[in-house]
Amino acid sequence: MQKSITEIENEIVEDFNLFDEREDKIDYLIDLGKKLPHINSKYMLDDFLVKGCQSKVWLHAYEKDGKIFFEADSDSVITKGIIALLIKVLSGQSPTDIINNNLEFINRIELQSFLTSKRSNGLNSMIVKMKAYASAFA
């Protein structure tokens, strides 16, 4: 049974609460990025680039049994960690749940506080792109 977005967000918050120091949270984010499976090279084309990111981020989505699944890669380990978090929360969810979710975990783990303004813009661009994919499949 697929966990709800809220359940997954709560798990992420618990994971990040294990770390007191900003640097430890960044290290954890980098580790998440390193564990993200590589995207198929056929999706590492300009058509799949997320516009507005400082780093290159390729994002692909597909629908299966009414759920949306995401695959992504980046040329930056921190950015790869950010997209890994978003994939963990949104992949396998319904288009409606993806579109209507506010991704509260971002504020709860204070993700923006340890990102540069350019990376924060990239985070927002990734979210917009993922919701656009969900809208296309809805």
List beta partners, residue 30. none
Which is the catalytic residue, given 32, 39, 53, 115?
53
How does DSSP assign 17-79, residue by residue? HT--SHHHHHHHHHHHHHHSPPPPGGG-SGGGBPTT-SS-EEEEEEEETTEEEEEEEESSHHH
Residue 53 falls in the annotated catalytic set: yes
**Are residues 135 and 99 in contact, defined by beta-carbon separation less than 8 angstroms?**
yes
- Residues constituting the chain: 138
Catalytic residue set? 53
